[in-house]
Amino acid sequence: MKTINIIGSGNVAYHLIENINTLPDFRLQQVAVRSKEKVLDLVSGDLIVTDIKNLKPADLTIIAVTDDAIKLVSDEIPYQNHLVVHTSGTTSMQMLNDKNRKGVFYPLQTFSKSRSVDFKNIPLCLETEQENDLKCLKVLAQQMSDKVYEISSEQRKSLHVSAVFVSNFVNHMYAIGDKICEENNIPFEILHPLIQETAVKITSLSPEEAQTGPAIRHDEKTITTHQNFLTNETFKNIYKLITESIQNV
């Protein structure tokens, strides 16, 4: 039975704790948080510390805090020569303090506390300095998820940029659609099936094959009509730029 310490209480930390609680071969040893209330529904009070200095050594320590805090938090860990990983898509593994063995455990998913997630379907991107630590991390990852990848710090950086495009920017496209619907008294739900089909389509076609619409058809008449329709200057510029990009890929 391996022991795990978690530092943090944000969305990633919360879902990790929830999941570790269900694993037979791993035991949540301690959780370090700023305020106890955030995880009291998942962890019994005696396992929670509010000062990182009070953590006891564990086989694995997972730092699930904001990117800016990773360095500081890893400096404060009171033990050494143990495996310490962070969960960030953008932070280099080298940002972790040298006193412990370094690694990364990056779950590539968008987390909201209010939505439960099926960890089995979340790609876990692993990286460690030492080969042996990778084995340990893999055992944990494979108990949590069916999708485990070895991804270097350099690859992870590019993966995070891709994720911003396919998730954050995609969601903003939804937000613009929502706003246009609202202004024209159309229920946004009318677009839900199209949104779902567009997302499902690329599991069987490449995005290039799946591209439809006035831009790829070079239907300049419709493109002009749409641009004239848009009164919001930012939306108009986005329409223009993405249309050009579709036509030039």
Interface residue with a copy of itself, options 21, 199, 218, 224 (CB under 8 A): 199
84-143 residues near a copy of itself, rule: CB under 8 A:
90, 108-112, 114-115, 117, 121-123, 125
Q: What is the DSSP letter of 215?
A: H
Alpha helices in 61-169 (DSSP H): 70-76, 131-144, 153-163
Spatial separation of the C-alpha atoms in residues 222 and 170, rounded to whole Å:
22
Interface residue with a copy of itself, options 51, 167, 218, 224 (CB under 8 A): 167
Q: Two tokens at 21? A: 């609680």
At closest approach, how far in Å is the CB of 161 from a copy of itself? 5
At closest approach, how far in Å is the CB of 94 from a copy of itself? 15
* 18-26, 42-50, 77-85, 228-236 -> range binding a copy of itself (CB under 8 A): 228-236
* 24-32, 34-42, 131-139, 148-156 -> range binding a copy of itself (CB under 8 A): 148-156
At closest approach, how far in Å is the CB of 203 from a copy of itself? 6
Smaller CB distance to a copy of itself: residue 135 or 172? 172
* Residue that the structure tokens 């990848």 belong to: 149
User: Is 96:76 a contact under the CB 8 Å cutoff?
Assistant: no
At closest approach, how far in Å is the CB of 71 from a copy of itself? 12
* Residue that the structure tokens 């962890």 belong to: 43
Site for a copy of itself contains 225 (CB under 8 A):
yes
* 40-48, 56-64, 97-105, 232-240 -> range binding a copy of itself (CB under 8 A): 232-240
Residue 8's CB: how many other CB atoms inside 10 A? 26
Angle, CA of 129, 97 and 69, to the nearest 5°: 115
Spatial separation of the C-alpha atoms in residues 179 and 234, rounded to whole Å:
13
Q: Two tokens at 150? A: 């070895």
35-74 residues near a copy of itself, rule: CB under 8 A:
67-68
